[in-house]
Structure 1
Amino acid sequence: MRRIAILLVTILAAPPLAAPQSEDLNVLTRWIEWADAPARLQLQLSSVAFDLLERRRAEVAQLRTAADWERRRTQVRAALERVLGPFPERTPLRPRVMGTVEGEGFRIERIVFESQPRFYVTGCLFVPVNRQPRAPAILNVIGHTDISFRAPRYQQLILNLVRKGFIVFAVDPAGQGERLQYYDPGTKRSSVGGSTTEHSYFGTQCF
């Protein structure tokens, strides 16, 4: 009896055991996240992207001095080189103005330059007429549409910035606008498809 009494006292005096950690199998509380099965991959990638954008926003909000921005630039460049490989050697751009168009309160300079030797880039430089001697400038790289920055919705964006005093240099990405990489003289169109198809066509050859 004495042994039984000691055992009971020991059990009662011992601290309660922690409940075992179990996997959360309750799917009802998060069912909406899995409701659209065909879009699951897109939703997952979007979630990751938005998380990264939020992290970037928080990091940029901490930048205060020129030295902070220099460190940030070094980090971003290192990340790009890690993902894409080293940047190509800088070579003469050899820019040429092919013509000028006068607009209402701005002018457009049609530019051709070489991003690499004999690899030509076409674009337009939108310059406000009444601007400060040193005006802020934006490099505008438009994606997806076959006519690039000439699409009405992109023109609206560009001209809105120009009217606010910005100089905007809009360039044709490869496969768009005047930069078809697989031009068919017979059809005067791309021989492989639209702009995003051209992107994919020569992009996959890099792997």
Structure 2
Amino acid sequence: MKKAQLITRLTGYICLLFSFTTSAQQTSDSAYKRPLKEVLEHVQKKYNVKIKYTDAQVTDKWVTYADWRYRPDIDATLSNILTPLDMKVKKEKENSYKLSAYEYYRWPVQEGWEELDRIAAQYNDQSQWETRKQALSPCLLQALQLSHLPAAPASKPIITAERKFDGYTVRNIAIEILPGLYINGSLYKPAQYKGKIPVILNPDGHWQHQRYRPDCQYRCATLARMGAMAFSYDLFAWGESLLQFEEKDHRRSLAMSIQALGSVRILDYLLSLKDADTGRVGITGGSGAGSHTVLMTALDDRIKVSAPVVAISSYFYGGCPCESGMPIHACANRTDNVEIAAMAAPRPQLLVSDGGDWTDKTPEHDFPYLQKIYGYYDKTGNIENIHLPAEGHDFGINKRNAVYQFMAKYLKLNTGSIDESKVTIEKENAMYVFGDKGELLPAHAIHGFEQLEATWKSALTH
């Protein structure tokens, strides 16, 4: 570097360090400490940019060594200032940014792809992949604290009266999965059938109105009309589970373990029914329930067919603690949701993706990786991707139709009964187990997260 250039650069840094105008001189004794709001205001003026933020985002937050975090480049400066606070900015347009929390679960696309490539470099054939799975499986269970399942309560499920509709029936069911802890859902069955029929789990996603939404009812009722028993059920601290917990409890890490245990208990119950075909078992869910679909398929070999919808990506690990709150992704020198999805191989699996969320690039990198894993078993036909680039993050009709066709193909269902116009959309309270106001909730039911933690700890030690 030429002497003149060096002098110019040093002069620039010196100007940056002394560019604040404050009422009190900042020194190392105070760690050059300044309020975040003041620092952001100065950044906006200095670099001629706009940074959107709320008072709640900046109140009582401070930047230590604030002066020293400045660089000639605005993006480097903002990164230096915000990273220690677990915050970041999103660039909305030229010279315009929006402040947000750091999202540990969301990676830049290229970094996510590179991480999947790093993971995939550890195996090149079926034998090496099976060795990798043997390392992942017990670690996933350990991360969920489910290496040894707690004892199941001896109580029988609570079942409401049957409701009859065009080609299907519905009963609401509550299953006690730990003492005083219930998971609720609705079991849809064909109105008429002979012998044993397939079982399809339908965990709920993170959309409003929980499993009472029309798209959930359409899906489960149609699967029933096609010849399966379809069970639609709540996430933890979601839907009717709010009789026992607050909504904020859903965003606690233990939610991930409770949901996994809940699905195991549901499957235990459904497969104990005399009309359940234990060889034809599927699971499908969207968004957060798509992450859950992948995890449960990896953990439970009883699931033979899976269809995660608008969920799986190498650069998105699940934005809710119920998807990523427990350290499953630290397993075996780190994994991601796409590798966990690969653990289903060679069992049939459908990924439904769209152009409006983190699945927007599924066909470009993640799906070819999955095809490679299925290729180890000469079963590339068992992994499918339906990509809907013009659609967004939902479980809309085109996504449901893709699931119907896929489940029909592998669970031997009747495609002639795919007709959502025959489905009756029920009012929400018709799908409750414990009454309109929760008046039928058993007296010994847990109330509150502290009680759950105590019950969970006791269950794991007995």
TM superposition score category, shorter chain reference: 0.5 to 0.7
Quick one: which amino acid aligns to residue 80 of structure 1? L
Q: How many residues align?
A: 149
Q: 2:112 aligns with which of 15, 26, 47?
A: 47
SS at match of 2:196: coil
The change in CA–CA distance for 1:106 and 1:89 in structure 2 (over 3 A counts) is same
| Residue matched to 1:78 | 138
- Correspondence list, 1:105-144, <5 A: 105-144=167-206
Encode CA deviations 1:115-158: one digit per residue, 9 max, x unaligned: 11111121111011133411110121112135321111222222
Encode CA deviations 1:46-96: one digit per residue, 9 max, x unaligned: 9369949x96xx99xx6xxxxx9xx99976641321321234313135212
Question: Are the equivalent residues in 1 in contact too, given 2:168–2:224 (CA < 8 A)?
Answer: yes
SS at match of 1:136: strand
| Residue matched to 1:20 | none
| Residue matched to 2:90 | 38
Over the aligned positions, Cα root-mean-square deviation in angstroms equals 4.1
Encode CA deviations 1:163-187: one digit per residue, 9 max, x unaligned: 221111111222222110566xxxx
The change in CA–CA distance for 1:150 and 1:89 in structure 2 (over 3 A counts) is same
Distance 1:99 1:127 in 2: 13
Question: Are the equivalent residues in 2 in contact too, given 1:95–1:113 (CA < 8 A)?
Answer: yes
| Residue matched to 1:19 | none
| Residue matched to 1:174 | 236
Q: Does 1:88 align with 2:149?
A: yes
SS at match of 1:38: strand
Report % sequence identity. Answer: 20
- Correspondence list, 1:99-110, <5 A: 99-110=161-172
| Residue matched to 1:148 | 210
Deviation at 1:106, TM superposition (A): 0.5
Distance 1:158 1:72 in 2: 35
The change in CA–CA distance for 1:115 and 1:159 in structure 2 (over 3 A counts) is same
The change in CA–CA distance for 1:77 and 1:43 in structure 2 (over 3 A counts) is closer
In the alignment, structure 2 segments of 5+ residues that lack a partner are 1-88, 92-101, 255-320, 322-448, 454-462
After the TM superposition, which segments of 4 or more aligned residues of structure 1 sit over 6 Å from their partners?
71-76
The change in CA–CA distance for 1:74 and 1:123 in structure 2 (over 3 A counts) is farther
Q: Which has the larger radius of gyration?
A: 1
Question: Are the equivalent residues in 2 in contact too, given 1:161–1:168 (CA < 8 A)?
Answer: yes
Quick one: which amino acid aligns to residue 139 of structure 2? A
The change in CA–CA distance for 1:178 and 1:135 in structure 2 (over 3 A counts) is same
Distance 1:148 1:49 in 2: 35
Distance 2:242 2:141 in 1: 27
In the alignment, structure 1 segments of 5+ residues that lack a partner are 1-36, 63-67, 184-189
Distance 1:132 1:82 in 2: 41
The change in CA–CA distance for 1:130 and 1:74 in structure 2 (over 3 A counts) is farther
| Residue matched to 1:3 | none
Q: Does 1:199 align with 2:264?
A: no
Distance 1:102 1:121 in 2: 23
Deviation at 1:160, TM superposition (A): 2.7
Question: Are the equivalent residues in 1 in contact too, given 2:198–2:227 (CA < 8 A)?
Answer: yes
- TM-score for both structures, normalised by structure 2: 0.27
